[in-house]
Structure 1
Amino acid sequence: MKFSKFGQKFTQPTGISQLMDDLGDALKSDQPVNMLGGGNPAKIDAVNELFLETYKALGVDNDADVPNSSAIISMANYSNPQGDAGFIDALVGFFNRHYDWNLTADNIALTNGSQNAFFYLFNLFGGAFTDEQNESVDKSILLPLTPEYIGYSDVHVEGQHFTAVLPHIDEVTHDGEAGFFKYRVDFDELENLPALKEGRIGAICCSRPTNPTGNVLTDNEMAHLSEIAARYDIPLIIDNAYGMPFPNIIYSDVNLNWDNNTILCFSLSKIGLPGMRTGIIVADAKVIEAVSAMNAVVNLAPTRFGAAIATPLVENDRIKQLSDNEIKPFYQQQAKTAVTLLKKELGDYPLVIHKPEGAIFLWLWFKDLPITTLELYETLKEKGTLIVPSEYFFPGVDVSDYQHAHECIRMSIAADEDTLAKGIAVIGEVVRKLYDEAK
């Protein structure tokens, strides 16, 4: 059986497919696995209790009126391709209430998860274009700060379309302690990119906080990116999967802004509903119209059940209260616990940690590691501990001669404390042995 070029592209091995396969295999394993590799959110009691309470309020326990329950209505009917109208109206009210953006329903579309959203957006703004002289121009998506999200890498229908900028790396302190670093945007390099100057960039995209590193771009960095995007008449796409206002896993003091040249992407996954596959795009009406048309072709309509759960939580602001009072503090404490454990295991070894500023991961840099972290990944997997190696997080970069891209790992902090401790103990044991043997 032969596949088209499209089929061959999407059936070849990728970082994201390997990660998801390994996570699935671990869940089926009869041996205990320290799950420090995936992006699944933690199970937080207060969060799950609120979702269950909301679910029951939809009428799932109301046998007398099952046909008219909100749960049945949301499951038994399509929305239009833009998404559930009630949820969109609730989001319009929420964002205008908290940010005064003057949105209308024409500024919001729903997708089946944010991965679905980025498939749309990257293919809308990256790929083959026709210029004013009717000649073909290939445009790419500019990633101003790598490493970046593993799931971006393979969503383009036509080849790979990324231009990426490597970071400045600064040594910093965290909570008064040394042993940390932070990535910053190299604007000198970015502004001198030939692709940008020659009109071969279709959009700029960044995640905030960044998956995999937990880096949070400063307000000044965001303002500079916004100015560059406006100057070149291209959109700035911001991935808020872990950011403001929900789940708000951001520990630094920053602001969230929107204008007609900005595309904001949100998700219900990291508030604890990854199985609902509900993504949210806030953008200019022309972009929303395009996304809705793509929804109609690819999905007919976005799923409605996540919208049914989230609508009342958005209307009464409980989604923000949940994020501020339960979700953010939980991960902030998890990060502190993980840092303490890592320093205990590897405090005398060449480990530096990206400053934990948000998201649900720590990004660990093993300077001059004797093997690549892809090899480290395989060794740890054999010992029942899953992490993700750094090579996969540099879309648009040839990492063959960039040593730093082979010395880092992403480690989830969403696991329970026992799993976190056991997994970090395994990482410590293996890494200590590697450095000791190299001496």
Structure 2
Amino acid sequence: MKLSRFGQKFAGESGIVELMDDLGTALNENPDMIFMGGGNPGRLQQVEAIFQQRLDDIMDDPRQRHSLFGIYQSPQGDKEFREQVASFLNKQFGWSLTGNNIAISNGSQAAFFVLYNMFAGDMGNGESNAIHLPLAPEYLGYADVGLSDNFFTATRPSIELLDDRLFKYGVDFSQLDLGNHTGAMCVSRPTNPTGNVLTDDEISHLDQIAREKDVPFIIDGAYGLPFPGIIFTEAKPHWNDNTILVLSLSKLGLPGARTGIIVANEDIIQAYTNANTIVSLACGTLGPALAKELFKTGEIVSLTRDYVTPFYQQRAQQTAQWLREKLGDVPFHIHKPEGAIFLWLWFEGLPITSQELYQRLKKRGVLIVPGHNFFVGMDDDWAHKHECIRVSYAQDAAIVKRGVEIIAEEVAAAYEDR
């Protein structure tokens, strides 16, 4: 089979392909596999009950049922839903949005494919622009979405060691240089994989730099503000005319509905909509239909505040404590858990690579994600990249605890084998 350059790139192997393939294959081969690698949200019965009731209401109404299954939506997304999202954001934060500032995508991954390639790659004048990631490590799902080579650049973070086996990455503004070939700058907040929440001051400074360079500032809020609100520290949502805020319904408990929400100025929304028409033709209807009333009534605020945030905060604290107990004297650090649904572990001086540790754990029935995949845009040989892993704590507590025990056993064995 002879593939084009596009085919070779997108049909080949990558970190995100390996991750998603493992999720499917491992479940078929070992139903007892402990999944601490993927981004599936935890199951919250109260939240599921809300969506179940909403789905029942839709199915009982012939008009809504037909709208859900029987017609195409606009490539920009359901108009009523977009207006409700805009109204909700205006009421909560004093923003000046209309439905024309909102677009819906079939998952935020699809949104980033379009957005990134709108601003980076071949610029048609013999030059290429890149997406800059000012705080590595970043989401591995970004790594392979570019249609051209050298699609990302990144700034190595500063590292602050904290008490209680914790550490924290920070934006190293002394090293941050967008250069003349940056098409956009992007951060996730909270950061996937580390759970780092950039401070309001860091966000403000990055916004200022983006404006000075006249490039969009993209914020991936899939885990963050204002929903699903998986943030355990003080932070304010950020948006302005130069910001593209990408949100998602997945971590509310609807990953299968594949619903991303883009908030941007009208020119960017129109450009995105045109591209999305070619790529997707239309937007899915399930996510907006299930969430529409949540935005209309404002119930999405209490849903996140009362159920989603407390669940993950408690689980993060518990899992971090299990790790401290089980890892003992192993030279390890946990990135300060400020949000998202993962813990980021740094095993200082790890005698094997994180990829080898991943393979050993997989044989033991535990799936994690090796850390080197997340240093998108960094081509140097920084040893730190191979000493880190990402673990999810979203599954049942007993399962997570058993996974922690196995991780601790394998890590201890690796140090003992030196």
Name the TM-score class by shorter chain: over 0.9
State whether structure 2 residue 260 is matched by structure 1 residue 266. no
Which position in structure 2 is the counterpart of 1:89? Answer: 83
Contact 1:129 1:137 in 2 (8 A): yes
Which position in structure 1 is the counterpart of 2:171? Answer: 185
Which position in structure 2 is the counterpart of 1:421? Answer: 401
Contact 1:361 1:411 in 2 (8 A): yes
**Separation in 1 of the partners of 2:390 and 2:138?**
11
**Separation in 2 of the partners of 1:117 and 1:81?**
12
Which position in structure 1 is the counterpart of 2:148? Answer: 158
**Separation in 1 of the partners of 2:30 and 2:231?**
36
**Separation in 2 of the partners of 1:371 and 1:30?**
25
Structure 2 SS opposite 1:188: coil
Go from structure 1 to structure 2 and tell me whether the alpha carbon gap of 1:379 and 1:30 turns closer, same or farther (over 3 Å shift): closer
Which position in structure 2 is the counterpart of 1:3? Answer: 3
Tell me the TM-score normalized by structure 1. 0.94
State whether structure 2 residue 272 is matched by structure 1 residue 282. no
Letter in 1 for 2:403: G
Identity of aligned residues (%): 48
Which position in structure 2 is the counterpart of 1:409? Answer: 389
Contact 1:71 1:308 in 2 (8 A): no
Matches within 5 A, 1:316-395: 316-395=297-376
Shift of 1:57: 1.4
Residue by residue, what CA displacement relative to the aligned partner does 1:340-394 show, whole Å, maximum 9, x if unpaired?
1101111211011000000000000001111001000000000000000001001
Pairwise CA RMSD: 1.0
Letter in 2 for 1:93: S
- Aligned mate of 1:102, from 96, 101, 108: 96
Shift of 1:30: 4.0
- Which structure 1 residue ranges, 5 or more long, are not aligned? none
**Separation in 2 of the partners of 1:208 and 1:416?**
25
- Aligned mate of 1:113, from 96, 104, 107: 107
Which position in structure 2 is the counterpart of 1:230? Answer: 211
Which position in structure 2 is the counterpart of 1:79? Answer: 73
Letter in 1 for 2:392: S
Shift of 1:160: 3.6
**Separation in 1 of the partners of 2:109 and 2:26?**
22
Residue by residue, what CA displacement relative to the aligned partner does 1:11-43 show, whole Å, maximum 9, x if unpaired?
110000000001101221244111101000011
Residue by residue, what CA displacement relative to the aligned partner does 1:280-330 show, whole Å, maximum 9, x if unpaired?
000010100011101111111110111000100111111121111100100
- Aligned mate of 1:141, from 131, 135, 138: 131
State whether structure 2 residue 211 is matched by structure 1 residue 221. no
**Separation in 1 of the partners of 2:67 and 2:184?**
38
Shift of 1:260: 0.6
Contact 1:71 1:305 in 2 (8 A): no
Letter in 2 for 1:419: I
- Aligned mate of 2:412, from 432, 435, 438: 432
Letter in 2 for 1:152: Y
Shift of 1:436: 2.0
Letter in 1 for 2:18: Q
**Separation in 2 of the partners of 1:276 and 1:390?**
28
Contact 1:154 1:160 in 2 (8 A): no
Report how many aligned residue pairs link the two structures.
Answer: 418
**Separation in 1 of the partners of 2:96 and 2:350?**
51
- Which structure 2 residue ranges, 5 or more long, are not aligned? none
Matches within 5 A, 1:245-256: 245-256=226-237
Structure 2 SS opposite 1:151: helix
Which position in structure 1 is the counterpart of 2:20? Answer: 20
Matches within 5 A, 1:164-175: 164-173=154-163
Letter in 1 for 2:109: Q
Structure 1 segments of 4+ aligned residues over 4 angstroms from their partners: none
- Aligned mate of 1:212, from 193, 210, 220: 193
Structure 2 SS opposite 1:159: coil
Tell me the TM-score normalized by structure 2. 0.98
Structure 2 SS opposite 1:203: strand
**Separation in 1 of the partners of 2:57 and 2:91?**
25
**Separation in 2 of the partners of 1:105 and 1:353?**
41
Structure 2 SS opposite 1:181: strand
**Separation in 1 of the partners of 2:313 and 2:186?**
26
Shift of 1:9: 0.7
**Separation in 2 of the partners of 1:244 and 1:413?**
20
**Separation in 2 of the partners of 1:212 and 1:287?**
28
Structure 2 SS opposite 1:52: helix
Matches within 5 A, 1:26-37: 26-37=26-37
Structure 2 SS opposite 1:189: coil
Matches within 5 A, 1:115-130: 115-130=109-124
